[in-house]
Amino acid sequence: MKLSKFKLSVCTLFTLSITATHAYELSDIVDTSNGQIQGVAESSLIRFQGIPYAEAPIGVRRWEAPVEKRKLDAVYYAGNLANTCATTTNLGGFSKISDSEDCLYLNVYVPKNVSLDKNQKAPVLFWIPGGGLQTGSANEYDPQYFIDKGIIVVTINYRLGPFGFFYNPSTANKDAAFINLGLMDQQAALKWVNKNIESFGGDAKNITIFGESAGGQSVLANIFSPLSKNLFQKAIAASGSYHADLKNVADAKQVTHTIAQKLNCVGDAAAVSACLKSKPTEQFLTPDISSLFNDGFFIDNTTLNKSFYQSIESNEFNVSSMINGFNTDEGSFFAGVIENSLGRKMNYDDYVGSLIGLYGKNTQKHIIKNKKPNASTDYTQAFSEDLGKYKFVCPTIKFNDLFSKKVALYSYEFADKSAPQYIKPISIAYGAYHTGELAYLFKNFRGANGSLTKLNPSQAELSKTMVNYWANFIKTGNPNGDALVNWAQYQNNAKNTLLFKTDGAKLIQEHSSNRSCPK
């Protein structure tokens, strides 16, 4: 670690997940590519929060590729959490609402023992938060479990919704465009980490990217993006294998055209772009505009040239090993968001409309073609089961079937149906819901402002087991280790999947529920 010998003692208010008063010391100063940075040393870690990795994408930089942060004039105090990127929803309390476009910041958490050994190259976990590419923040994840394993943790913000996945007509030619700006932000943050992490005691040649939900989808996008080549070595995707059929430039153009009409922006490409850039942030966060941004990544011929499946077939990917999995009851989280919004149970119209909105036009073909209104049907439960199956579980199985032919792939299913809930109760049980595993990997996770429910003793043991597997993989590319059930690689003829329940980890060859997925 490149450090200047400068240290002070102070008292302050610091928060990761829970606000509390701590006595702490300022860290040694770290020399980085864009200036000197000073963090805060605590008992088990040194935290560097709110580090700018790119210039603020505001004004003329809105909808432009991220620009490397200019050199800082003075020592930058990295002891405070920074803005979250502008969001269109909180997903039922998953993340906080924000209206800030000045948000391209990251946090670096360094184990205390790593900071004391300047020659040690610690493995690096690069966390990409989820939230449907519409919400999510680097600031809501306590890295302590991984810190305790000697792993440096980096958490990042990236542009979301209408600011992160938008066709800017002034930056496009007929073949390619800047659309996946949020993905480009992730890549800019990865470049910053590659350039600077050794100054924090990390190993730039041992970086694992990890994300959940849209963060997991971001992991897949980085695996298959030519612009992410050589920026990381391993990957973990949780509940991220969906939207395999990516939209294209024409689809993105249509969204921009619709928004331009709504905001009275007319003229040639440059005029429309300038007009849209002049509009205040809040005009893009209204429901009629934000609802246009729920389709994930685009094949823009800049960051992504083809679908994930096509990239697998053509051997165009950036890892040799990965962990990929899902939760047993993925759909219940989204049923909760909808039912709590409605203030009642879902009916047939809610069921059909929500599935089409969240899953896409193929819903009619795969899910509801034989479904008719029925007074005895629990449509909240039906929505939960069908969304989870078709949006998460089946795409994950299909992805694993294909990608396991190319790389060392480890499949899992999180199945603790008693997982602590941070979201409001609904008419059905949440079970092993979407995001439910996060509390087992990030200490005290409770979303943006949900109630904190501690893990019970059996859940705490499951948490230790999961963290051990994850930490082993982050360090070596193989999750197995002493005193752990052997996690065999997934193969087409042996669909090995590690099932995580409170009675321990168990290797199975079929998933815990009978899932008949479309071919």
The domains of the chain, with CATH numbers, are 46-309 (3.40.50.1820), 330-508 (3.40.50.1820)
pLDDT in the model for residue 17: 38
Q: pTM for the complete prediction?
A: 0.93
Per the model's pLDDT, the better-predicted residue between 382 and 171 turns out to be 382
Q: Which residues contact 205 (CB under 8 A, 6 or more apart)?
A: 121, 233
Q: Which amino acid is located at 132 in the chain?
A: G
With cut-offs at 50, 70 and 90, classify the pLDDT of residue 90. Answer: low
Contact status, residue 259 vs residue 289, Cβ threshold 8 Å: yes
pLDDT in the model for residue 23: 60
Token representation of residue 124 = 């690096």
Contact status, residue 227 vs residue 304, Cβ threshold 8 Å: no
One of 213, 241, 273, 463 is an active-site residue; which one?
Answer: 213
Per the model's pLDDT, the better-predicted residue between 14 and 414 turns out to be 414
pLDDT in the model for residue 341: 92
User: Average pLDDT, stretch 262-278?
Assistant: 96
Strands (E), 129-229: 152-156, 202-212
Contact status, residue 323 vs residue 412, Cβ threshold 8 Å: yes
3-state helix, strand, coil in the chain (%, to 5): 35, 20, 45
| Dihedral angle computed from the Cα positions of residues 236, 238, 239 and 242, in that order, rounded to the nearest 10 degrees | -10
Asked if residue 145 has pLDDT above 90, the reply is yes
Share of the chain above pLDDT 70, in %: 88
Helical spans, DSSP H, in 135-180: 144-147, 161-164
Closest CA to 368 of 47, 358, 432, 439: 358
Residue showing tokens 């940075």? 37
With cut-offs at 50, 70 and 90, classify the pLDDT of residue 244. Answer: low
- Does residue 198 carry a catalytic annotation? no
User: Average pLDDT, stretch 341-359?
Assistant: 88
pLDDT in the model for residue 213: 95
Length of the chain: 519
Asked if residue 109 has pLDDT above 70, the reply is yes
Asked if residue 88 has pLDDT above 80, the reply is no
Per the model's pLDDT, the better-predicted residue between 270 and 91 turns out to be 270
With cut-offs at 50, 70 and 90, classify the pLDDT of residue 371. Answer: confident
pLDDT in the model for residue 492: 83
Q: Which amino acid is located at 249 in the chain?
A: V
Token representation of residue 46 = 């040194």
pLDDT in the model for residue 305: 94
Torsion angles phi and psi, residue 10, rounded to 5: -150, 175
Token representation of residue 504 = 């321990």
One of 64, 101, 330, 339 is an active-site residue; which one?
Answer: 330
- Poorest-confidence range of 94-98, 224-228, 358-362, 421-425? 358-362
Contact status, residue 212 vs residue 435, Cβ threshold 8 Å: yes
Per the model's pLDDT, the better-predicted residue between 113 and 317 turns out to be 317
Token representation of residue 308 = 């994930």
Asked if residue 122 has pLDDT above 80, the reply is yes
pLDDT in the model for residue 177: 78
| Dihedral angle computed from the Cα positions of residues 52, 58, 61 and 62, in that order, rounded to the nearest 10 degrees | 120
pLDDT in the model for residue 212: 97
User: Average pLDDT, stretch 251-264?
Assistant: 95
User: Average pLDDT, stretch 330-358?
Assistant: 91
- Does residue 320 carry a catalytic annotation? no
pLDDT in the model for residue 238: 98
How many whole angstroms separate alpha carbon 209 and alpha carbon 278? 35
How many whole angstroms separate alpha carbon 471 and alpha carbon 488? 16
pLDDT tens track for 287-338: 899 888 877 899 999 999 999 999 999 999 999 999 999 999 999 999 999 9
Asked if residue 483 has pLDDT above 90, the reply is yes
Torsion angles phi and psi, residue 319, rounded to 5: -135, 165
